[in-house]
Structures are given as structure tokens and as C-alpha cells.
């Protein structure tokens, strides 16, 4: 508590900007998501430790703990994205959301269904469906919250007329896809191929398409506001990014389809189309480089937001695009699919395509109306460094372990126990990386909580 108080006092209030009611509600979305993210880091670290110490006492079996970890990885970005979209759509359109009351009720519904998923899994109640282990009725409840958001956003866009901006439309379309891709997963399929295919609409397409659109909309709005790039330049990139996110996201999922019973052509389609996903990321890196050369940021608040966005770009290029492209090559995929290499790619890609972007949006929203002091800024920078160092160690350890696993087990045919003994040191190294990541996570939560405490005293429309 002393740390949280000191971080709260470390932010210096500035003259508050006028808020729309929806923007005020978005703060509780972001703070809740930051708390769930901190919880995920702890659960993940304990799970990684349990993997190398199998007899570690735990009230929750490993398989259900893993299910909670995977569920948290999906839900905290979802809740944060709901708040971010409300905040930046109203900022882009310069008008209130259609129904602030619906936005408020939506939060409580989303939180109730999210906690219900975690609670039932902790009680060992689930459906055994990897990545979507919760009860289908609870995912149907999440669909209802997304439907409320889509309705609220579409009514807002329709009422805005010619004031509609590409960033607002892109974020709204991303929310529509989040709903459409989750909805089929509330149905039970007797055909295992249909079941696996619809599952990857959330596991892969949420990240590679839906969240890609909402994150791109936020980056566009932030770059325009901070002066890193002019609106015309950002919107040209945004059109291309949105087009590639939809097209490449849909077809690059093919490298998953092949392994669940689809025709072999899908493996080739998935590999080739994955190349397209690198193009808009490279353009964003170039635009950021040019913008920072032309205009230096003076606001520490904007600098911290940018550090998190740049962290996202690094892992988007390395973990999501390049590593993802490598392991989709058919001859590589044959041996590495489903190994620790896939896990390493998933961790890096998650924080490349949305994790760090969502954290950047949460910080930008929660710190609005304040400017961090030198102490608060240093604490946040240390948190970002720990997150990055921890993630690099985790990802690297998993990739090395997976490469050895692929070669020794699948290529040479050594026994599972022989391979496990060889890769165990790298799994221990993963625990070390996870510990650093969790420490950075908790420190960043302290920074976010401090910013929220400092600015919560300024209600909407009042200084």
C-alpha cells in the first residue's frame, strides 16, 4: 500500500480536459483490466513453476490453472479494449456515446461473466475445450456485452454523420468482429473439425484481426494527438492496416486449419498470406521513426505511452510477424507445431499485436489530467524494462526448448522423458523470466493505480 500511495503522489495534476461520460466510464474498464493483467502474471508464474516442480502443492490442478491463465489472456485485453474504444471513439467524433448508461451496465455484465468463468474453472467446472475452457453459457453472456457495445457504437457513428473518422470506424469494426467470431463458440459441435475451426476464430482471429483493428485505431488516434504524424498520413496507413488485418487475418489462419483436418492447400495459403501481415507493421515502424525525428515529445505522459507502443512494435515485428512466418513454413511447421516454439510465439505475438498496445491505451486514459513526476516516470520506465526483459527471457527460453523438443523428440524419435530432462533447464529459465515479467507487471499496475487515484478527484466537466 505504501508503494501505491507513493506512486499516486508521484503524479502532478494538470488542468483537466473536458470529459465525456463514456470517457469517464472507460477508466474503470482500464483499471479493472490492469488488475486482471497483474493477476494473470502471477497465475502464469505459478503455472510455469508447477511445470518444473510437479509436486508443488496447489489447490487448483495444473490443467485448470492453465485454463484460468489462458482465459485471463483473452479477457483482460477484451475488457480494456471495450474501454479504449469508448474513449477514443468519442474523442475522435467529439461527441458523447449514444448511451452512456448502456456503457456502464455493459462493464458490470462483462465483469460478472468474466469472474464467473474464472470462478467455475477454479472449482474445476469447465468443458475441456482448450483456450475456451469455460462454460458455453458464460461465453454467450460475454457475447451479450459485446452486442451492447456494437449497438452503442453503431448508433453513435450513425448519429455523427460526416464527422465520422477512419479511426472511429476501424475500432467499431474491430468490436463487430470480436462479437461475430466469439458467437459461434457458444454452440456445441459434434464434428471435431468444426469445433477446432471455430475455436481458432477466437484463438487466432481475435488477435490477428479483431484486436488488430481496435489497436490500429488507438495508435492512429494517439499519433495524431501527440503530433507524431499528421492525420492524412496516419489515415493512409490505417486504411492499409485495416485491409490487411481483415484479409491476412482470415486466410493466415489456414496454417492452423491444415492440422485439424482441412485440405493441404490451406497450409500453403496460410504461409503465403502471412507475408502480407509484415507490410503494414513495417510501414508503422517507418512512420514512427520519421515522426520522432521531426517532432520530439515533451510530455512524460506521452513518452510513457509511446514506450509501450514501441514495445508492441518490436514484438509485432519479431515475435508475431517474423517468428510466426518462420513456423508457418510447411517443412518447419511439420516438426514445430504444438511444441514450446508455438508457446514462445504465442507469448511474443500476444504482446506484439495487442498486449503492450492495450497497456499503452490504459495508461493514456487513466493518466489523463495529470503529468507524472520524475519519480513516477522512472518507476514506469523500470516497469516497462522489466516487462520487456522478462518477456524476452521467457520467449527465448521457450523457443530454445521447443527447438530441442522438435529435433530430439519428433525428428530423432527420443523418448518423451529423455527430451524433458534436456529441456527442463530452459523451462526453469522461463520461470526466471516470468518472475521478472510479473514484477514489472505489478509495478506497472502500481503506476496505473496511482494515476487513477490522482485523477479520480476530477469528475466529468469539473476542475
pLDDT of 138:
95
Q: Torsion-angle region of residue 58: left (phi > 0), alpha (psi -120 to 50) or beta?
A: beta
Is there a domain that residue 108 lies in? yes
What is the DSSP code string of 56-95? Answer: ---SS-HHHHHHHHHHHHHHHHHHHHHHHHHHHHHHHHTS
Is there a domain that residue 463 lies in? no
Is there a domain that residue 25 lies in? yes
Q: Which residues of the chain register pLDDT less than 70?
A: 1-19, 457-463
pTM over 0.95: no
Are 25 and 104 in contact, with CB atoms under 8 Å apart? yes
Q: In angstroms, rounded to a whole number, what is the distance separating the alpha carbons of residues 155 and 157? A: 6
Taking Cα atoms as reference points, which of 51, 173, 185 lies closest to residue 117? 185
Q: CA-based angle 402:354:380, to the nearest 5? A: 100
Is there a domain that residue 111 lies in? yes
CA distances to 60, 170, 211 from 246, in Å = 38, 11, 11
pLDDT of 463:
32
Are 181 and 202 in contact, with CB atoms under 8 Å apart? yes
Domain extent at residue 362: 2-11+21-455
Is there a domain that residue 16 lies in? no
Q: CA-based angle 391:393:396, to the nearest 5? A: 100
Is there a domain that residue 432 lies in? yes
Is there a domain that residue 273 lies in? yes
Is there a domain that residue 331 lies in? yes
pLDDT of 8:
46
pLDDT of 267:
77
pLDDT of 294:
73
What is the CB neighbour count within 10 angstroms for residue 288? 18
Are 305 and 360 in contact, with CB atoms under 8 Å apart? yes
Contact partners, residue 142, CB within 8 Å, separation at least 6:
78, 110, 113, 114, 182
CATH number at residue 408: 1.20.210.10
Q: 184: which DSSP letter?
A: G
Q: In angstroms, rounded to a whole number, what is the distance separating the alpha carbons of residues 132 and 183? A: 12
427: Cα separation from own chain's centroid: 24
Count of domains for the chain: 1
pLDDT of 1:
52
Amino acid at each position: 500500500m505504501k508503494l501505491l500511495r507513493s506512486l499516486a503522489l508521484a503524479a502532478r495534476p494538470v488542468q483537466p480536459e473536458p470529459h465525456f461520460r463514456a470517457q469517464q466510464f472507460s477508466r474503470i474498464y482500464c483499471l479493472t483490466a490492469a488488475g486482471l493483467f497483474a493477476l494473470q502474471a502471477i497465475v502464469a508464474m505459478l503455472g510455469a513453476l508447477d511445470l518444473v516442480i510437479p509436486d508443488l502443492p496447489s489447490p487448483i490442478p495444473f490443467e485448470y490453472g492453465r485454463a484460468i491463465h489462458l482465459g485471463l489472456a483473452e479477457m483482460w485485453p477484451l475488457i480494456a479494449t471495450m474501454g479504449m474504444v469508448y474513449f477514443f471513439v468519442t474523442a475522435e467524433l467529439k461527441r458523447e456515446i449514444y448511451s452512456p448508461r448502456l456503457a456502464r451496465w455493459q462493464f458490470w455484465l462483462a465483469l460478472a461473466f468474466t469472474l464467473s468463468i474464472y470462478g467455475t474453472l477454479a472449482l474445476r467446472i469447465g468443458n475441456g475445450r482448450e483456450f475456451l475452457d469455460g462454460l458455453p453459457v458464460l461465453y454467450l453472456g460475454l457475447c451479450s456485452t459485446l452486442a451492447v457495445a456494437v449497438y452503442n457504437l453503431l448508433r453513435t457513428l450513425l448519429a455523427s454523420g460526416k464527422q465520422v473518422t477512419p479511426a472511429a470506424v476501424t475500432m467499431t469494426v474491430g468490436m463487430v468482429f470480436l462479437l461475430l467470431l466469439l458467437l459461434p463458440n457458444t454452440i456445441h459441435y459434434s464434428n471435431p473439425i468444426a469445433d477446432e475451426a471455430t475455436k481458432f476464430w477466437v484463438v487466432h482471429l481475435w488477435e490477428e484481426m479483431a484486436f488488430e483493428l481496435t489497436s490500429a485505431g488507438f495508435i492512429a488516434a494517439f499519433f495524431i494527438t501527440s503530433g507524431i504524424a499528421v492525420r492524412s498520413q496516419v489515415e493512409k496507413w490505417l486504411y492499409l492496416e485495416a485491409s490487411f488485418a481483415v484479409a491476412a487475418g482470415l486466410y493466415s489462419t489456414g496454417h492452423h486449419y491444415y492440422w485439424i483436418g482441412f485440405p493441404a492447400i490451406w497450409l500453403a495459403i496460410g504461409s503465403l498470406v502471412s507475408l502480407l501481415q509484415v507490410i503494414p507493421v513495417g510501414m508503422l515502424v517507418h512512420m514512427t521513426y520519421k515522426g520522432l525525428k521531426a517532432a520530439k515529445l515533451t510530455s512524460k505522459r506521452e513518452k510513457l505511452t509511446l514506450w509501450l507502443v514501441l514495445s508492441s512494435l518490436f514484438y509485432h515485428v519479431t515475435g508475431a510477424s517474423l517468428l510466426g512466418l518462420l513456423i508457418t513454413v510447411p517443412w518447419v511447421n511439420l516438426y514445430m507445431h504444438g511444441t514450446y516454439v508455438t508457446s514462445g510465439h504465442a507469448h511474443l505475438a500476444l504482446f506484439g499485436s495487442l498486449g503492450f498496445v492495450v497497456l499503452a491505451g490504459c495508461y493514456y486514459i487513466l493518466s489523463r489530467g495529470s503529468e507524472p513526476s520524475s519519480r513516477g516516470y522512472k518507476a514506469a520506465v523500470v516497469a516497462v524494462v522489466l516487462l520487456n526483459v522478462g518477456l524476452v527471457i521467457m520467449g527465448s527460453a521457450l523457443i530454445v526448448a521447443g527447438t530441442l523438443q522438435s529435433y530430439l523428440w519428433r525428428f530423432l524419435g527420443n523418448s518423451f522423458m529423455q527430451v524433458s530432462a534436456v529441456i527442463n533447464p530452459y523451462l526453469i529459465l522461463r520461470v526466471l523470466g516470468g518472475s521478472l515479467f510479473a514484477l514489472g507487471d505489478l509495478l506497472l499496475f502500481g503506476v496505473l493505480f496511482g494515476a487513477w487515484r490522482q485523477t479520480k478527484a476530477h469528475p466529468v466537466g469539473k476542475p
